Amino acid sequence: MFLKKILAVCVLSSIFAISGCQKKEQDSKEKIEEVSQSGFKMDAAQMMTHLHAFEQIAKQHGGNRAVGTQGGLASADYILDHAKKAGFTTEVQAFENREKTKGQNIIVEIPGESKQDIILLGAHYDSVKMGPGINDNASGVALLLELMAQLSQQKIKPKHSIHLAFWDSEEVGIAGSQAYVKKLTADQLKAIKAYINVDMVGTKDPEILIADGDKSSLDEMEKMLKERGMQEQDYKPLLDGLRSIPSHSGDLALENTLKAFFKAKNLEIKEDVATLTASDTAPFLGKVPVTSVILFNEQMKGDELEFAPCYHKACDTIEQVDPKSMQLAGDAVVHLLISLDQD
């Protein structure tokens, strides 16, 4: 997660106590339970094994896995190795970020019956330089690696091709996914049925953020700010900015599919617009249907809002990750995938 832009939103909303950026009551978060998906079971233990491996990689390479570092390269090797073991073709895409650091995206291709349509899932594998980046975002990578292993082991042939994108340099300018989108032709963009972003999915006691496809949460936010007596001139620029974030007509259907999943589990969700520009969803907005699974646990640390404990810090270790959150996010992604692959 590359969060600068949303800071203003959350600071503003914490001042005015919008529920979105407030820490939710503990009891509403205790409802997270392990769930099972018929016929296709994501294994949290396997995901945790990947997280241990990424933590070791960081430990052996100066404490981080940032783009262009030895830890970053070792992380890429780890992903490539697992894709090879699963028997899938990979494509490595090299690029340079704004700091002239070389990065590499890894795209794993799982062929479907029809090769025309693609369901694209992505997670960034680089960490910040300040820490090992286990929740942010080895967690998303571990989820996709487990998905890849399940598809391989169970010999599942999807209707549509599934591409798993492991992005580099998200933490420096969202550069990997941007380079990928830039290279796509109009026809290639059209072939992408959906982009599903997975970022920070190991957070304990999480608040579930779902991409707000029709931006309906902004109307609620506006209403609340008005009721609290805030002057229009003070909040309008911010809301206008969020409303101007590009969207696609297919976004809402994805939002509703995810909502249905969490609703069936009696879990609270938060419709979210701001984080769309702060992760690898950003380059895809308005171009293809987009959604994301992000788990936050926001708290004020002095004057600063921390999106999850140890966010962008050296202590973003496996200690911060709850296997139950990994399981929940994994099952949510599978639910989306099954629903998308039906038509």
Tell the smallest beta-carbon distance from residue 173 to Zn ion (Å).
12
Residue whose CB is less far from Zn ion, 177 or 257: 177
Q: Does residue 148 touch Zn ion according to CB under 5 A?
A: no
* Helix ranges restricted to H, the chain: 5-15, 26-29, 44-60, 70-86, 139-153, 175-183, 186-191, 216-227, 232-243, 251-264, 323-342
Tell the smallest beta-carbon distance from residue 114 to Zn ion (Å).
35
Q: Does residue 141 touch Zn ion according to CB under 5 A?
A: no
Strand partners, 121: 164, 196
> 124 is written with which tokens?
């960034």
* Region near Zn ion per CB under 5 A, out of 82-90, 134-142, 263-271, 335-343: 134-142
Phi/psi of residue 174, each to 5°?
50, 45
* Region near Zn ion per CB under 5 A, out of 130-138, 143-151, 301-309, 318-326: 130-138
Identify residues 58-117 at the interface with Zn ion (CB under 5 A): none
Say if CB 232 and CB 268 are below 8 A apart: no
Ramachandran class of 83: left when φ > 0, alpha when ψ lies in -120 to 50, beta otherwise: alpha
18: closest CA among 296, 275, 309, 272?
272
Tell the smallest beta-carbon distance from residue 280 to Zn ion (Å).
11
Q: Does residue 1 touch Zn ion according to CB under 5 A?
A: yes
Residue whose CB is less far from Zn ion, 195 or 296: 296
Q: Which residue is nearest to Zn ion (CB)?
A: 1
Q: Which residues contact 153 (CB under 8 A, 6 or more apart)?
A: none
Tell the smallest beta-carbon distance from residue 136 to Zn ion (Å).
4
Per-residue CA distances from 17 to 12, 68, 228, 238, 311 (Å): 8, 40, 10, 16, 22
SS3 of the chain: helix, strand, coil, percent, to 5: 45, 20, 35
| Binding pattern for the stretch 267-306 against Zn ion, x by CB under 5 A and - elsewhere | ----------------------------------------
Report, in angstroms and rounded to the nearest whole number, the Rg of the chain calculated over CA atoms.
Answer: 19
Tell me how many residues contact Zn ion (CB under 5 A): 2
Tell the smallest beta-carbon distance from residue 137 to Zn ion (Å).
6
Residue 199: strand, helix, or coil: strand
Out of 55, 117, 126, 136, point to the residue binding Zn ion (CB under 5 A).
Answer: 136
Residue whose CB is less far from Zn ion, 136 or 207: 136
Tell the smallest beta-carbon distance from residue 336 to Zn ion (Å).
22
* Region near Zn ion per CB under 5 A, out of 106-114, 128-136, 160-168, 313-321: 128-136
Instruction: Please give the residue ranges that form the binding site for Zn ion (CB under 5 A).
Output: 1, 136
